[in-house]
Structure 1
């Protein structure tokens, strides 16, 4: 059965979250449509600045984030301050959901140093590794398909697993923050972050200022769903006004 145009676009973006490039012929074969249809799809996505066209295919846009390993080397001092401030919000005996990402791994490391007797559920291997240093933390790892660029599990199995849990707080990162909400460069991790937001009583977004006023492919939460932003610099302009309008607490570390 042929996919609709919107379904094809979603599939193309999802494939590019896993691969550096895609070929027209391969996409046409996979989706059971003509190469002309795929070329039109790629042209539309390029016009929307979601991908870049190449001869015979497409690649990720330059705004796509580097891998989580590369991101670990950026804004280290800022992320350490953010991690301390986020950890200070955690209450004794809490159940916490933690998303993948460089900043959230810093937060997980700080939580492991600062707290005892917590339950933490995560799909991030790097977060799980640093949390495991604290034997008093009960650590639950979500199953799923492994996404190497994020060092995390994603997909339908991950989402179904998380449906069985409720948490006091979710801690997530983001690729971009705008007045409309928070977004991520990768479609599949974003779907997991949306599930974390849904399963927690409150959600804390932990980001450095480089994410302000940037929008990426997959929006996973609007500001009415979020409780706080912990960051290293106060937002300004439309973003700041949106946070105030929705009652989102801003903690500047």
Structure 2
């Protein structure tokens, strides 16, 4: 059966997340389609900024990832499961800090449905928008420079603003989950996440399986700073061992 284009292109991104560069022929073999189909997909995905075409193949840099708008279309069912599981951990919290990202927006949407009478500090316009459906949730937006790719405020003003607050939980996404901690593709966002980690009593990372064993420039926390990780698939042994050694509670949903 012919795979829908969206499913095929999601699979290409998954393959490139595991192997930084692949040849057209190898992708065609793995996806069981023609090389012409793969070339059309790669050309289209290059125009969308999802990857870079090379002679005879494609590469996806470990230091970049798609915009938050593009990421919203990937792993939707998995992220909804993550959000449901995350909210169970957050029950009882009164003050939350929530970072930007597609999985955190899914989590915020679930928070809006299941929690009430809480205060949320966020730099993500997507998070603020979905929380607005619940009038009992007070949302405080961080000031700063607006980053259109991430849909969030960043910079010195965002970081310094957080020093005036404490939270029961920080809820954070990640571009990658590595052996030493979670990391983000955007250094400026990583700085905001690090500030949230330092001001929260407990820290929760929500990330789908495509983030496992990937490294990005901004490692915003070490695993000893993180209390919980919620993901949709059990990570490999090396990552699981790192989480276990640092006392991180892993929830697979």
Matched residues in 1 for 2:88 and 2:237: separation? 28
- In the other structure, the counterpart of 2:199 is 199
Matched residues in 1 for 2:101 and 2:155: separation? 16
- In the other structure, the counterpart of 1:162 is 162
Matched residues in 2 for 1:82 and 1:112: separation? 15
- In the other structure, the counterpart of 1:112 is 112
1:135-162 Cα offsets, whole Å, 9 max, x none, are 0001111110000000000000001101
Alpha-carbon spacing, 1:178–1:93, altered in 2? closer, same or farther (3 Å)? closer
**Length-normalised TM-score, structure 1:** 0.75
- In the other structure, the counterpart of 1:5 is none
- In the other structure, the counterpart of 1:76 is 76
Matched residues in 1 for 2:148 and 2:155: separation? 13
**Length-normalised TM-score, structure 2:** 0.75
Matched residues in 2 for 1:115 and 1:183: separation? 28
The alpha carbon displacement at 1:124 in A equals: 0.2
- In the other structure, the counterpart of 1:136 is 136
1:178-211 Cα offsets, whole Å, 9 max, x none, are 1111111111001000011111001000000010
Matched residues in 1 for 2:193 and 2:210: separation? 20
- Name segments (4+ residues, structure 1) moved above 2 Å: 60-63
- In the other structure, the counterpart of 2:65 is 65
Q: Is the 8 A contact 1:93 1:117 kept in 2?
A: no
Between the two proteins, the alignment pairs up a number of residues equal to: 195
1:66-94 Cα offsets, whole Å, 9 max, x none, are 00000000000000000000011123351
Unaligned segments of structure 2, at least 5 residues? 1-51, 53-58
Q: Is the 8 A contact 1:92 1:118 kept in 2?
A: no
- In the other structure, the counterpart of 1:36 is none
Unaligned segments of structure 1, at least 5 residues? 1-51, 53-59
